[in-house]
Structure formats: C-alpha cells, structure tokens
Amino acid sequence: MLSNDCIFCKIIKGEIPSTKVYEDDKMLVFKDIEPKARVHLLAVAKTHFKLLEEANAEGRGLVDYMLFKIPEIARQNGCENGYRLIINQGADAGQTVFHLHIHILGGKELPW
C-alpha cells in the first residue's frame, strides 16, 4: 500500500517525475536528484514502510528481492567495478524520506 503524503510513493505513482533506470512490480530505481557519487541511484520498495523493523514477512521478502536485483542494475548503470549500498534507518542516520529505500553509489572509487 502506498501513502498519499510520501514523496517516494508519489514518484512510484507517477505524480512526481523521476529519471527511472529500472522498474518492475516490486521496486523502482531512479537517479538521486542530489547525487553523492558519479552514480547515485535510489532503489525504492513499491510497498510503503518506513524502517526495516516495520517490515512484515512480505516486506522482508521485498528487501531480499531488492538486494538480489541491485547487482544487475548497478552493473547496467556504470558500477562494473563495485558499488556501495546504504540504507539509512531513522533521523540520526540521516534518513530524510521515511520510506524504505536503498542508495546505490558507485561509478568511481569511493572514499570512506
């Protein structure tokens, strides 16, 4: 189920434009509008939940699915030599959109 007041839900519904690089019935991947690396993609679950701890069995399966698909998507978008995945959980971790999403960063060597 999608939320009416979540920016990522609005992107999923097509109400807000994005530069999509992958989409299926479970997830949407699009370019971050404020990239922190040469390649900075956001993989967004098509089910709205804010944090990993809120995921029920279906949500946990969705996260597994997303992690399974990301390597192919990363390679197809310029991350042949590696990439970093980030899942911010809560305000203290820097999460600004409270809808589960995975940052995919790469395209060049990343500093730690």
Residues annotated catalytic, as ranges: 101
Q: Is 51 exposed, middle or buried (0-12, 13-18, 19+ CB in 10 A)?
A: middle
Written in H, E and C, the secondary structure of 86-108 is ECCCCHHHCCCCCCCEEEEEECC
Which residues, 6 or more positions from 63, have their beta carbon under 8 angstroms from its beta carbon? Answer: 45, 52, 55, 100
